Structure 1
Protein backbone atom coordinates (compact mmCIF):
# COMPACT_ATOMS: atom_id res chain seq x y z
CA UNK A 1 0.00 0.00 0.00
CA UNK A 2 1.11 3.53 -0.77
CA UNK A 3 0.69 5.66 2.35
CA UNK A 4 1.50 8.99 0.71
CA UNK A 5 -1.32 11.52 1.01
CA UNK A 6 -3.71 11.92 -1.90
CA UNK A 7 -3.18 15.07 -3.97
CA UNK A 8 -5.44 17.99 -3.16
CA UNK A 9 -8.50 18.25 -5.36
CA UNK A 10 -9.42 21.42 -7.23
CA UNK A 11 -12.15 23.32 -5.37
CA UNK A 12 -15.44 24.26 -7.03
CA UNK A 13 -18.13 26.52 -5.59
CA UNK A 14 -21.53 25.43 -6.91
CA UNK A 15 -24.38 27.89 -6.41
CA UNK A 16 -27.78 26.32 -7.14
CA UNK A 17 -31.03 26.56 -5.17
CA UNK A 18 -32.97 23.70 -6.76
CA UNK A 19 -32.25 20.46 -4.79
CA UNK A 20 -32.51 18.14 -7.79
CA UNK A 21 -30.23 20.26 -9.99
CA UNK A 22 -27.82 20.76 -7.10
CA UNK A 23 -27.57 17.02 -6.47
CA UNK A 24 -26.88 16.29 -10.13
CA UNK A 25 -24.32 19.07 -10.60
CA UNK A 26 -22.53 18.32 -7.34
CA UNK A 27 -22.34 14.59 -7.97
CA UNK A 28 -21.19 14.94 -11.56
CA UNK A 29 -18.63 17.61 -10.66
CA UNK A 30 -17.24 15.55 -7.77
CA UNK A 31 -16.68 12.67 -10.19
CA UNK A 32 -14.38 14.79 -12.36
CA UNK A 33 -12.96 14.74 -9.63
CA UNK A 34 -13.25 17.98 -7.67
CA UNK A 35 -14.05 19.09 -4.16
CA UNK A 36 -17.50 20.67 -4.39
CA UNK A 37 -18.83 23.24 -1.93
CA UNK A 38 -22.53 24.03 -2.35
CA UNK A 39 -24.48 27.21 -1.72
CA UNK A 40 -28.15 27.92 -2.37
CA UNK A 41 -28.17 31.71 -2.37
CA UNK A 42 -26.04 34.80 -2.86
CA UNK A 43 -25.66 35.15 0.91
CA UNK A 44 -24.41 31.57 1.31
CA UNK A 45 -22.05 31.93 -1.66
CA UNK A 46 -20.51 35.14 -0.35
CA UNK A 47 -20.03 33.51 3.07
CA UNK A 48 -18.31 30.52 1.43
CA UNK A 49 -15.93 32.85 -0.42
CA UNK A 50 -15.04 34.61 2.82
CA UNK A 51 -14.15 31.27 4.39
CA UNK A 52 -12.09 29.69 1.59
CA UNK A 53 -10.55 30.09 -1.86
CA UNK A 54 -11.89 28.32 -4.95
CA UNK A 55 -10.44 27.30 -8.30
CA UNK A 56 -13.72 27.69 -10.20
CA UNK A 57 -17.23 29.07 -9.74
CA UNK A 58 -20.39 27.48 -11.18
CA UNK A 59 -23.31 29.85 -10.57
CA UNK A 60 -27.00 29.58 -11.36
CA UNK A 61 -28.23 32.62 -13.28
CA UNK A 62 -31.28 33.10 -11.04
CA UNK A 63 -31.27 32.65 -7.28
CA UNK A 64 -33.80 33.27 -4.49
CA UNK A 65 -32.08 36.45 -3.35
CA UNK A 66 -30.71 37.80 -6.61
CA UNK A 67 -28.98 36.99 -9.88
CA UNK A 68 -25.79 35.11 -10.57
CA UNK A 69 -24.34 38.08 -12.40
CA UNK A 70 -24.90 40.29 -9.34
CA UNK A 71 -23.08 37.74 -7.20
CA UNK A 72 -20.15 37.67 -9.60
CA UNK A 73 -19.92 41.47 -9.70
CA UNK A 74 -19.96 41.58 -5.89
CA UNK A 75 -17.13 39.05 -5.68
CA UNK A 76 -15.13 40.87 -8.35
CA UNK A 77 -15.59 44.07 -6.35
CA UNK A 78 -14.13 42.26 -3.35
CA UNK A 79 -11.03 41.41 -5.37
CA UNK A 80 -11.92 37.75 -6.08
CA UNK A 81 -10.94 36.90 -9.65
CA UNK A 82 -11.87 33.19 -9.76
CA UNK A 83 -12.98 31.98 -13.20
CA UNK A 84 -16.78 31.63 -13.30
CA UNK A 85 -19.22 29.56 -15.35
CA UNK A 86 -22.96 30.27 -15.38
CA UNK A 87 -25.73 27.70 -15.78
CA UNK A 88 -29.36 28.32 -16.64
CA UNK A 89 -32.43 26.65 -18.11
CA UNK A 90 -33.40 29.95 -19.75
CA UNK A 91 -33.02 29.91 -23.53
CA UNK A 92 -33.12 33.69 -23.86
CA UNK A 93 -30.12 34.75 -25.93
CA UNK A 94 -30.20 38.20 -24.33
CA UNK A 95 -29.68 36.62 -20.90
CA UNK A 96 -26.73 34.60 -22.15
CA UNK A 97 -25.19 37.72 -23.65
CA UNK A 98 -25.70 39.59 -20.39
CA UNK A 99 -24.05 36.82 -18.36
CA UNK A 100 -21.01 36.80 -20.62
CA UNK A 101 -20.81 40.59 -20.40
CA UNK A 102 -20.90 40.30 -16.60
CA UNK A 103 -17.72 38.23 -16.66
CA UNK A 104 -18.75 34.58 -16.96
CA UNK A 105 -16.46 32.74 -19.36
CA UNK A 106 -19.24 30.41 -20.55
CA UNK A 107 -22.95 29.75 -20.06
CA UNK A 108 -24.12 26.14 -19.69
CA UNK A 109 -27.74 25.41 -20.61
CA UNK A 110 -29.69 23.03 -18.35
CA UNK A 111 -30.53 20.23 -18.53
CA UNK A 112 -27.04 19.20 -19.57
CA UNK A 113 -25.49 15.74 -19.81
CA UNK A 114 -22.53 14.74 -17.67
CA UNK A 115 -20.22 14.83 -20.70
CA UNK A 116 -21.05 18.46 -21.43
CA UNK A 117 -20.52 19.49 -17.82
CA UNK A 118 -17.23 17.60 -17.58
CA UNK A 119 -15.95 19.11 -20.82
CA UNK A 120 -16.62 22.61 -19.50
CA UNK A 121 -15.08 21.92 -16.10
CA UNK A 122 -11.99 20.23 -17.56
CA UNK A 123 -11.30 23.28 -19.68
CA UNK A 124 -10.91 25.39 -16.55
CA UNK A 125 -9.71 22.70 -14.09
CA UNK A 126 -7.03 20.83 -16.07
CA UNK A 127 -5.47 19.40 -12.90
CA UNK A 128 -8.66 17.47 -12.16
CA UNK A 129 -7.74 14.78 -14.65
CA UNK A 130 -5.02 13.28 -12.44
CA UNK A 131 -5.94 14.60 -9.03
CA UNK A 132 -7.57 11.44 -7.67
CA UNK A 133 -5.76 8.10 -7.24
CA UNK A 134 -7.46 4.78 -8.01
CA UNK A 135 -6.84 3.73 -4.41
CA UNK A 136 -6.89 6.21 -1.53
CA UNK A 137 -4.98 4.31 1.15
CA UNK A 138 -5.30 7.06 3.75
CA UNK A 139 -9.11 7.06 3.47
CA UNK A 140 -9.30 3.27 3.68
CA UNK A 141 -7.02 3.12 6.72
CA UNK A 142 -9.07 5.81 8.44
CA UNK A 143 -12.30 3.92 7.73
CA UNK A 144 -10.89 0.66 9.08
CA UNK A 145 -9.06 1.87 12.16
CA UNK A 146 -5.60 1.95 10.64
CA UNK A 147 -5.43 -1.80 10.03
CA UNK A 148 -3.61 -2.34 6.73
CA UNK A 149 -4.30 -6.08 6.78
CA UNK A 150 -8.05 -5.40 7.00
CA UNK A 151 -7.84 -3.01 4.07
CA UNK A 152 -6.08 -5.58 1.91
CA UNK A 153 -8.55 -8.32 2.84
CA UNK A 154 -11.58 -6.17 2.13
CA UNK A 155 -10.13 -4.99 -1.16
CA UNK A 156 -9.81 -8.60 -2.26
CA UNK A 157 -13.46 -9.25 -1.43
CA UNK A 158 -14.46 -5.98 -3.09
CA UNK A 159 -12.68 -6.85 -6.34
CA UNK A 160 -14.18 -10.37 -6.35
CA UNK A 161 -17.70 -8.93 -6.18
CA UNK A 162 -17.14 -5.96 -8.50
CA UNK A 163 -17.75 -7.72 -11.86
CA UNK A 164 -21.12 -9.04 -10.65
CA UNK A 165 -22.12 -5.59 -9.38
CA UNK A 166 -21.13 -4.06 -12.69
CA UNK A 167 -23.18 -6.69 -14.49
CA UNK A 168 -26.29 -5.98 -12.43
CA UNK A 169 -25.94 -2.25 -13.09
CA UNK A 170 -25.52 -2.84 -16.84
CA UNK A 171 -28.63 -5.04 -16.92
CA UNK A 172 -30.66 -2.42 -15.05
CA UNK A 173 -29.44 0.29 -17.44
CA UNK A 174 -30.52 -1.84 -20.42
CA UNK A 175 -33.96 -2.21 -18.81
CA UNK A 176 -34.20 1.52 -17.97
CA UNK A 177 -34.63 0.53 -14.31
CA UNK A 178 -33.41 3.64 -12.46
CA UNK A 179 -34.57 2.35 -9.06
CA UNK A 180 -32.45 -0.80 -9.29
CA UNK A 181 -29.47 1.20 -10.58
CA UNK A 182 -29.67 3.55 -7.61
CA UNK A 183 -29.96 0.63 -5.19
CA UNK A 184 -26.85 -1.04 -6.64
CA UNK A 185 -24.93 2.24 -6.67
CA UNK A 186 -25.91 2.91 -3.04
CA UNK A 187 -24.28 -0.36 -2.00
CA UNK A 188 -21.29 0.19 -4.24
CA UNK A 189 -20.49 3.71 -3.01
CA UNK A 190 -20.40 2.47 0.59
CA UNK A 191 -17.98 -0.30 -0.37
CA UNK A 192 -15.79 2.17 -2.26
CA UNK A 193 -15.55 4.28 0.87
CA UNK A 194 -14.41 1.38 3.05
CA UNK A 195 -11.71 0.17 0.65
CA UNK A 196 -10.63 3.60 -0.61
CA UNK A 197 -11.63 3.08 -4.26
CA UNK A 198 -11.47 6.82 -4.86
CA UNK A 199 -11.99 7.21 -8.61
CA UNK A 200 -14.65 4.53 -8.75
CA UNK A 201 -16.42 6.16 -5.82
CA UNK A 202 -16.47 9.48 -7.68
CA UNK A 203 -17.90 7.79 -10.80
CA UNK A 204 -20.56 6.07 -8.71
CA UNK A 205 -21.59 9.39 -7.16
CA UNK A 206 -21.96 10.95 -10.60
CA UNK A 207 -24.08 8.05 -11.86
CA UNK A 208 -26.30 8.21 -8.76
CA UNK A 209 -27.21 11.73 -9.86
CA UNK A 210 -27.88 10.62 -13.46
CA UNK A 211 -28.50 6.85 -13.43
CA UNK A 212 -29.50 6.56 -17.10
CA UNK A 213 -26.85 8.93 -18.50
CA UNK A 214 -24.67 7.13 -21.06
CA UNK A 215 -21.58 9.19 -20.26
CA UNK A 216 -21.96 8.45 -16.55
CA UNK A 217 -22.07 4.71 -17.32
CA UNK A 218 -18.97 4.97 -19.50
CA UNK A 219 -17.14 6.77 -16.68
CA UNK A 220 -18.20 4.01 -14.28
CA UNK A 221 -16.97 1.33 -16.69
CA UNK A 222 -13.62 3.09 -17.06
CA UNK A 223 -13.18 3.31 -13.29
CA UNK A 224 -14.08 -0.37 -12.87
CA UNK A 225 -11.60 -1.35 -15.61
CA UNK A 226 -8.81 0.51 -13.80
CA UNK A 227 -9.27 -1.74 -10.76
CA UNK A 228 -9.79 -5.13 -12.37
CA UNK A 229 -7.00 -7.19 -13.91
CA UNK A 230 -6.96 -7.27 -17.69
Structure 2
Protein backbone atom coordinates (compact mmCIF):
# COMPACT_ATOMS: atom_id res chain seq x y z
CA UNK A 1 0.00 0.00 0.00
CA UNK A 2 1.32 3.43 -0.97
CA UNK A 3 1.40 6.30 1.52
CA UNK A 4 0.09 8.75 -1.07
CA UNK A 5 -3.27 7.07 -1.67
CA UNK A 6 -6.08 5.75 0.54
CA UNK A 7 -6.15 2.01 1.23
CA UNK A 8 -8.33 -0.03 -1.11
CA UNK A 9 -10.74 -2.27 0.82
CA UNK A 10 -12.97 -4.95 -0.66
CA UNK A 11 -16.02 -5.76 1.47
CA UNK A 12 -18.17 -8.83 0.66
CA UNK A 13 -21.44 -9.38 2.50
CA UNK A 14 -24.81 -10.71 1.32
CA UNK A 15 -26.69 -8.78 4.02
CA UNK A 16 -27.48 -5.38 2.44
CA UNK A 17 -27.63 -3.52 5.78
CA UNK A 18 -24.21 -4.82 6.86
CA UNK A 19 -22.72 -4.13 3.44
CA UNK A 20 -24.05 -0.57 3.28
CA UNK A 21 -22.80 0.26 6.75
CA UNK A 22 -19.32 -1.25 6.29
CA UNK A 23 -18.75 0.45 2.93
CA UNK A 24 -19.94 3.79 4.32
CA UNK A 25 -17.99 3.55 7.57
CA UNK A 26 -14.76 2.63 5.79
CA UNK A 27 -15.31 5.57 3.47
CA UNK A 28 -15.54 7.82 6.52
CA UNK A 29 -12.20 6.37 7.61
CA UNK A 30 -10.64 7.60 4.36
CA UNK A 31 -10.62 4.25 2.58
CA UNK A 32 -11.45 3.58 -1.06
CA UNK A 33 -14.04 0.86 -0.51
CA UNK A 34 -15.72 -1.51 -2.95
CA UNK A 35 -18.72 -3.57 -1.90
CA UNK A 36 -19.69 -7.01 -3.22
CA UNK A 37 -23.00 -8.72 -2.39
CA UNK A 38 -21.78 -12.27 -3.10
CA UNK A 39 -18.68 -14.40 -3.28
CA UNK A 40 -18.68 -14.44 -7.07
CA UNK A 41 -18.98 -10.65 -7.14
CA UNK A 42 -16.04 -10.43 -4.72
CA UNK A 43 -13.89 -12.58 -7.01
CA UNK A 44 -14.71 -10.39 -10.00
CA UNK A 45 -14.08 -7.17 -8.05
CA UNK A 46 -10.79 -8.41 -6.63
CA UNK A 47 -9.44 -9.05 -10.12
CA UNK A 48 -10.04 -5.40 -11.01
CA UNK A 49 -9.30 -3.73 -7.67
CA UNK A 50 -5.98 -5.10 -6.36
CA UNK A 51 -7.17 -4.45 -2.78
CA UNK A 52 -4.98 -3.79 0.24
CA UNK A 53 -7.40 -5.52 2.62
CA UNK A 54 -10.32 -7.95 2.34
CA UNK A 55 -13.34 -7.95 4.65
CA UNK A 56 -15.28 -11.12 3.79
CA UNK A 57 -18.49 -12.54 5.22
CA UNK A 58 -18.11 -16.12 6.45
CA UNK A 59 -21.50 -17.31 5.21
CA UNK A 60 -22.89 -16.31 1.82
CA UNK A 61 -25.22 -18.41 -0.36
CA UNK A 62 -22.76 -18.91 -3.19
CA UNK A 63 -19.31 -18.68 -1.62
CA UNK A 64 -17.95 -17.29 1.62
CA UNK A 65 -15.41 -17.81 4.38
CA UNK A 66 -12.61 -20.29 3.76
CA UNK A 67 -13.71 -21.41 0.24
CA UNK A 68 -13.97 -17.80 -0.92
CA UNK A 69 -10.49 -16.92 0.30
CA UNK A 70 -9.05 -20.01 -1.39
CA UNK A 71 -10.57 -18.90 -4.70
CA UNK A 72 -9.22 -15.37 -4.26
CA UNK A 73 -5.75 -16.70 -3.52
CA UNK A 74 -5.90 -18.90 -6.63
CA UNK A 75 -6.69 -15.76 -8.58
CA UNK A 76 -3.54 -14.06 -7.30
CA UNK A 77 -5.01 -11.86 -4.55
CA UNK A 78 -2.54 -11.69 -1.66
CA UNK A 79 -4.20 -8.98 0.48
CA UNK A 80 -4.71 -9.82 4.16
CA UNK A 81 -8.24 -11.09 4.79
CA UNK A 82 -10.52 -10.51 7.77
CA UNK A 83 -13.62 -12.68 8.17
CA UNK A 84 -16.90 -11.26 9.46
CA UNK A 85 -19.86 -13.19 10.81
CA UNK A 86 -22.93 -12.82 13.01
CA UNK A 87 -21.41 -15.53 15.21
CA UNK A 88 -17.99 -17.11 15.56
CA UNK A 89 -17.32 -20.15 17.70
CA UNK A 90 -13.92 -21.75 18.28
CA UNK A 91 -14.18 -24.29 15.41
CA UNK A 92 -15.20 -21.55 12.96
CA UNK A 93 -12.27 -19.37 14.04
CA UNK A 94 -9.89 -22.31 13.68
CA UNK A 95 -11.19 -23.08 10.17
CA UNK A 96 -10.81 -19.46 9.10
CA UNK A 97 -7.29 -19.20 10.53
CA UNK A 98 -6.27 -22.40 8.76
CA UNK A 99 -7.61 -20.96 5.50
CA UNK A 100 -5.37 -17.91 5.88
CA UNK A 101 -7.57 -15.25 7.50
CA UNK A 102 -5.51 -12.90 9.67
CA UNK A 103 -8.50 -12.02 11.87
CA UNK A 104 -12.18 -12.79 12.40
CA UNK A 105 -14.76 -10.45 13.97
CA UNK A 106 -18.42 -10.69 14.85
CA UNK A 107 -21.02 -8.25 13.52
CA UNK A 108 -22.04 -5.58 14.15
CA UNK A 109 -18.61 -4.02 13.71
CA UNK A 110 -18.48 -0.44 15.01
CA UNK A 111 -16.49 2.41 13.50
CA UNK A 112 -13.90 2.31 16.28
CA UNK A 113 -13.42 -1.43 15.77
CA UNK A 114 -12.95 -0.90 12.05
CA UNK A 115 -10.35 1.75 12.78
CA UNK A 116 -8.53 -0.64 15.10
CA UNK A 117 -8.54 -3.36 12.42
CA UNK A 118 -7.12 -0.94 9.87
CA UNK A 119 -4.40 0.15 12.26
CA UNK A 120 -3.50 -3.46 13.04
CA UNK A 121 -3.48 -4.91 9.54
CA UNK A 122 -2.53 -1.85 7.45
CA UNK A 123 0.48 -0.35 9.27
CA UNK A 124 0.83 2.55 6.81
CA UNK A 125 -2.74 3.67 7.27
CA UNK A 126 -2.70 7.15 8.77
CA UNK A 127 -4.52 7.10 12.11
CA UNK A 128 -4.67 10.91 11.95
CA UNK A 129 -7.34 10.52 9.26
CA UNK A 130 -9.82 8.98 11.68
CA UNK A 131 -13.10 10.80 11.95
CA UNK A 132 -14.65 9.00 14.89
CA UNK A 133 -17.39 10.40 17.06
CA UNK A 134 -15.94 10.36 20.53
CA UNK A 135 -19.16 10.55 22.49
CA UNK A 136 -21.05 7.60 21.05
CA UNK A 137 -23.71 6.49 23.53
CA UNK A 138 -22.83 3.63 25.84
CA UNK A 139 -24.81 0.40 25.60
CA UNK A 140 -27.81 0.37 27.93
CA UNK A 141 -28.38 -2.58 30.27
CA UNK A 142 -29.13 -5.82 28.44
CA UNK A 143 -32.59 -6.15 29.98
CA UNK A 144 -33.60 -2.73 28.68
CA UNK A 145 -32.29 -3.53 25.20
CA UNK A 146 -34.21 -6.79 25.06
CA UNK A 147 -37.45 -5.10 26.10
CA UNK A 148 -37.37 -2.56 23.27
CA UNK A 149 -38.61 -2.91 19.70
CA UNK A 150 -36.04 -0.39 18.45
CA UNK A 151 -33.18 0.57 20.74
CA UNK A 152 -31.21 3.62 19.61
CA UNK A 153 -28.30 3.40 22.07
CA UNK A 154 -26.49 0.25 20.88
CA UNK A 155 -27.42 0.95 17.26
CA UNK A 156 -25.88 4.43 17.39
CA UNK A 157 -22.80 3.03 19.08
CA UNK A 158 -22.41 0.51 16.25
CA UNK A 159 -22.58 3.23 13.56
CA UNK A 160 -20.32 5.72 15.32
CA UNK A 161 -23.11 7.91 16.67
CA UNK A 162 -24.28 9.07 13.23
CA UNK A 163 -28.08 9.37 13.31
CA UNK A 164 -28.32 9.95 9.56
CA UNK A 165 -26.47 6.70 8.91
CA UNK A 166 -28.74 4.88 11.34
CA UNK A 167 -31.83 6.36 9.69
CA UNK A 168 -30.61 5.23 6.26
CA UNK A 169 -29.81 1.72 7.49
CA UNK A 170 -33.20 1.43 9.13
CA UNK A 171 -34.90 2.52 5.92
CA UNK A 172 -33.07 -0.18 3.99
CA UNK A 173 -33.83 -2.70 6.74
CA UNK A 174 -37.53 -1.84 6.63
CA UNK A 175 -37.62 -2.48 2.88
CA UNK A 176 -35.86 -5.82 3.30
CA UNK A 177 -38.28 -6.92 6.02
CA UNK A 178 -41.35 -5.93 4.03
CA UNK A 179 -40.07 -7.81 0.98
CA UNK A 180 -39.23 -10.99 2.91
CA UNK A 181 -42.10 -11.02 5.41
CA UNK A 182 -44.72 -12.62 3.10
CA UNK A 183 -42.37 -15.54 2.36
CA UNK A 184 -41.42 -16.47 5.94
CA UNK A 185 -44.22 -18.98 6.46
CA UNK A 186 -43.25 -21.03 3.39
CA UNK A 187 -39.45 -20.81 3.31
CA UNK A 188 -37.70 -24.20 3.45
CA UNK A 189 -35.80 -24.74 6.68
CA UNK A 190 -32.35 -24.38 5.11
CA UNK A 191 -33.27 -21.09 3.39
CA UNK A 192 -34.91 -19.85 6.56
CA UNK A 193 -31.78 -20.62 8.55
CA UNK A 194 -29.60 -18.65 6.11
CA UNK A 195 -32.02 -15.71 6.21
CA UNK A 196 -32.08 -15.72 10.02
CA UNK A 197 -28.27 -15.65 10.06
CA UNK A 198 -28.27 -12.49 7.94
CA UNK A 199 -31.22 -11.03 9.84
CA UNK A 200 -29.39 -11.12 13.16
CA UNK A 201 -26.57 -8.94 11.84
CA UNK A 202 -29.05 -6.39 10.50
CA UNK A 203 -30.97 -6.39 13.77
CA UNK A 204 -27.81 -5.53 15.69
CA UNK A 205 -26.88 -2.68 13.34
CA UNK A 206 -30.41 -1.25 13.52
CA UNK A 207 -31.08 -1.86 17.21
CA UNK A 208 -34.05 -4.16 16.49
CA UNK A 209 -33.78 -5.94 19.83
CA UNK A 210 -37.13 -7.73 19.96
CA UNK A 211 -36.79 -9.00 16.40
CA UNK A 212 -33.29 -10.22 17.24
CA UNK A 213 -34.73 -12.19 20.16
CA UNK A 214 -37.45 -13.70 17.95
CA UNK A 215 -34.92 -14.62 15.25
CA UNK A 216 -32.66 -16.32 17.77
CA UNK A 217 -35.61 -18.22 19.22
CA UNK A 218 -36.68 -19.45 15.79
CA UNK A 219 -33.16 -20.65 15.06
CA UNK A 220 -33.23 -22.67 18.28
CA UNK A 221 -36.66 -24.04 17.44
CA UNK A 222 -36.00 -24.99 13.81
CA UNK A 223 -35.31 -28.58 14.78
CA UNK A 224 -38.32 -28.77 17.08
CA UNK A 225 -41.69 -26.99 16.95
CA UNK A 226 -41.22 -24.60 14.02
CA UNK A 227 -44.72 -23.26 13.46
CA UNK A 228 -45.08 -21.54 16.85
CA UNK A 229 -41.67 -19.90 16.57
CA UNK A 230 -42.43 -18.72 13.02
CA UNK A 231 -45.64 -17.16 14.29
CA UNK A 232 -43.76 -15.32 17.02
CA UNK A 233 -41.18 -14.08 14.52
CA UNK A 234 -43.88 -12.86 12.12
CA UNK A 235 -45.69 -11.03 14.92
CA UNK A 236 -42.55 -9.21 16.09
CA UNK A 237 -41.49 -8.58 12.49
CA UNK A 238 -44.77 -6.75 11.87
CA UNK A 239 -44.28 -4.68 15.04
CA UNK A 240 -40.71 -3.84 13.98
CA UNK A 241 -41.76 -2.71 10.48
CA UNK A 242 -44.33 -0.37 12.06
CA UNK A 243 -41.73 1.04 14.44
CA UNK A 244 -39.20 1.55 11.64
CA UNK A 245 -41.75 3.45 9.58
CA UNK A 246 -42.65 5.72 12.51
CA UNK A 247 -38.93 6.43 13.15
Question: Could you say which TM-score interval applies, normalised by the shorter chain?
Answer: 0.5 to 0.7
Runs of 4+, deviation exceeding 3 Å = 130-134
* Alpha-carbon distance in structure 2 between the residues aligned to 1:19 and 1:43: 16
Q: 1:98 to 1:53 in 2, by over 3 A?
A: same
The aligned residue for residue 13 of structure 1 is 10
Distance 2:11 2:25 in 1: 11
**Which structure has the higher relative contact order (CA within 8 Å, separation 6+)?**
1
For the pair 1:41 / 2:58, whether they are aligned, the reply is no
Q: In 2, Cα distance between the equivalents of 1:114 and 1:22?
A: 14
Computed over aligned residues only, the root mean square deviation of the Cα atoms, in angstroms, reads 3.5
Q: Please report how far the alpha carbon of residue 79 of structure 1 lies from its aligned counterpart in structure 2 after TM superposition.
A: 2.6
Partner of 2:240: none
The 8 Å contact of residues 59 and 86 in structure 1, kept in 2 or not, is answered as yes
Kindly indicate whether the alpha-carbon contact (under 8 Å) linking 2:58 and 2:66 is maintained by their aligned counterparts in 1: yes
When residues 181 and 131 of structure 1 are mapped into structure 2, their CA distance, relative to the original with a 3 A threshold, is closer
**Residues 79-98 of structure 1: pairs in structure 2 closer than 5 A:** 79-98=76-95
TM-score (normalizing by structure 1): 0.54
**1:17-42, Cα deviation, whole Å (9 max, x unpaired):** 11111112112212222100010111
Aligned-pair CA distance for 1:127: 2.9
Residue number among 24, 28, 40 corresponding to 1:27 in the alignment: 24
TM (norm. structure 2) is 0.51
- The residue aligned with 1:222 is none
What's 2:221 paired with? none
19 and 7 in structure 1: CA distance in 2 versus 1, 3 angstrom threshold:
same
Structure 2, unaligned runs of 5 or more: 137-151, 157-161, 169-204, 208-247
Structure 1: runs of 5+ lacking an equivalent: 1-5, 135-165, 171-175, 187-209, 213-230
Count of matched residue positions in the alignment of Structure 1 and Structure 2 = 146
Q: How does 1:191-210 map to 2 (within 5 A)?
A: none
Structure with greater Cα Rg: 1
Secondary structure of the 1:62 match is: coil
Q: What are the Cα deviations for residues 67-118 of structure 1, in whole angstroms up to 9, with x where unaligned?
A: 2211110111223211111011123221111011100000011123221221
* 2:63 alignment counterpart: 66
CA distance in 1, matches of 2:41, 2:66: 15
Q: Per-residue CA shift, 1:188-217, capped at 9, x if unaligned?
A: xxxxxxxxxxxxxxxxxxxxxx799xxxxx
Q: Does the CA contact (< 8 Å) of 1:32 and 1:128 recur in 2?
A: no
